[in-house]
Amino acid sequence: MGLSDIHNYIRPGMRAHLVGIGGVSMCALAEVLHQYGMVITGSDMRDSGAVAHLREVGIPVSIGHRPENAAGADLLIRTAAAHDDNPEIQAARAMGIPVFERASAWGSIMRSYKNAICIAGTHGKTTTTSMVTHIFMEAGLDPTVMIGGTLPLLGAGHRVGKGDSIILESCEYCNSFLRFFPTVAVILNVEEDHLDFFQDLQDIQHSFGAFANLVPKEGHVLVNADNPGAMGAVSSLSRPFTTFGCSEEAFVHCQNLTWDGGLPAFDIICGGSFYARAELNVLGAHNVSNALAAAAVAYALHVPGDAAARGLSGFHGTDRRFQRKGVFNGALIYDDYAHHPSELHVLLEAAKQLGCSRIICAFQPHTYTRTKALFEDFVRELQVPDIALLAEIYAAREQNTIGISSRDLAERIPGARYFATLPELAACLRDIARPGDLILTVGAGDIYKVGDALLSGENQETAS
C-alpha cells in the first residue's frame, strides 16, 4: 500500500500494532498516535526505560516478537530494523493486515500541519531540531516535536502540541525522509555515511535532492552554504532555495562572532538585516552552523528575532551530545553520540576548548559496514586524543560478515588499546583516570554505560 493509503488508517479508534516500539522514533510515534485517540499496542525484544514509560501512559508492550501479538490490529507499523521474516510482520500479512514503515506514519501525521519542518543532514540533526524546538516554544507556538534524543526542555524526545507546526528530525537512511511531506526542508550537511544502503556520495546527494524537491513551491528549502555536499545535493534543484552559513554570501549568516570560554556569541543577519543576537550555551564552531540553520527556519516562518535569541540561549544541549555526566577521580566525564569521523572531529575540537590536561577518548565504532567504509578516516581522527581506547564494534542491525574488529583500528593508532568488553574498558579507565583529565565516552551504541559504571562506583564525586 502507498503513502495515501496509510492516511486512511491514522485516525481515532483505529488499532495499530508497532513492531520495535522501544526505539526512539517508534516510542515517540506510539505516544503521538495514542494521544490522537488511536488504540496502540507494541512489541520489542527487550524491556527498557522507553517500554516502561509507554506502559505507564497506557500502551501495552509485549517483550519478544510472536505472531499472536499482531492479532486484532487494523494496521501494523514497523521500525526499519524489523525485516520481512519477523513473525509479527509475517502474521499480519497472512491475516491481511496492512504493514507500513515508521516513516510513512510520520509522513501521514505531518500532512495535517500547516508547517512541517523536517531537519536533515549527515550530522547535527538532533541538535538543530532541538534548537528549533526551543525557539518555537519561546515564541509560544506550541509545536509537535520528534527528536532523536532526549531534550531536557521536554523531558523526552517528543511532544504533542496544539499549534500548527510539527518539527521532525529527518533521517536519510533507507530513504526514510522521502516518505515525508515537508513544507520546510533543512539540509545541514551531506557526507558519506550509511554505505550499507547508499552506493556512494553521489547517491546520497541524489537522495537529499529528492528530499528538497518534496517541498511545495510556497515552502522553504534551507541549505548550508558552507558544506559542499549539501550544495551539491541541490545543484540541479528545480525550485529556489535559501542558504545559511558562516560566509557572508549566505542569506542567513553570522557577524561579530566572539568566543568566551569556548561559547560563541554572534549577530544573525538575514538578507542583509539584523535579525537577532545569539549567545549560545553549547560549545563548538559546529553549533554556530546549527544555530544559523535554526534561525533560518525561524526567520522563514516569521518568528520574531527576540524569540530566536531567547530560544538559542536557553538551549544547553541534549542527552548524549557532549553531555557532562560527572567527575571521577578528578577527571571530567562527558558522553557523546558521535559515530562518524566528521562528528568525531568536531567533538574533539570542542573538547580541546575545555583546557583539560589529557583527552581520553573511549570510542565504540557503530556498525561493521561504517567502520570498514570509513576506516582510514577513523584512524586519522582517533590519533587526535592523548589516549584512544577502543571498544568492540557495536553491531546494531548488522552481522559481522566482513570480519572486521576494533582491534584492527587499535593496531593502526599509536598507543591505542583494544577491549573486547565494556567492563574491561571501564576497569582501564578506573586505573588511569587522574585530576585534570577529560574522559569522553563516544559512539551511538551502549558505550555510555562505561561512564555510568565509573560514576556509580565508590570513587564517584558529585559533578559541580
Catalytic residue numbers, as ranges: 125-126, 169
CA 213 to chain centre: 22
- Hey, what's the cell of 84? 520481512
- Hey, what's the cell of 4? 495515501
All residues at 6 or more sequence positions from 36 whose CB lies less than 8 Å from its CB, including other chains: 10, 11, 12, 109, 160
C-alpha gyration radius of the chain? 22
Phi, psi at residue 297, to the nearest 5°?
A: -60, -50
Asked whether 117 and 106 are in contact (CB, 8 A), the reply is no
CA within 13 Å, CB half, 45: 7
**End-to-end Cα spacing for the chain:** 54
For residues 422-443, one letter each, b for 16 or more C-beta atoms within 10 angstroms of the residue's C-beta and e for the rest, the string is beebbebbeeebeeebbbbbbb
Tell me how far apart the alpha carbons of residues 280 and 265 are, in angstroms, rounded to a whole number.
6
For residues 24-33, one letter each, b for 16 or more C-beta atoms within 10 angstroms of the residue's C-beta and e for the rest, the string is bbbbbbbbbb
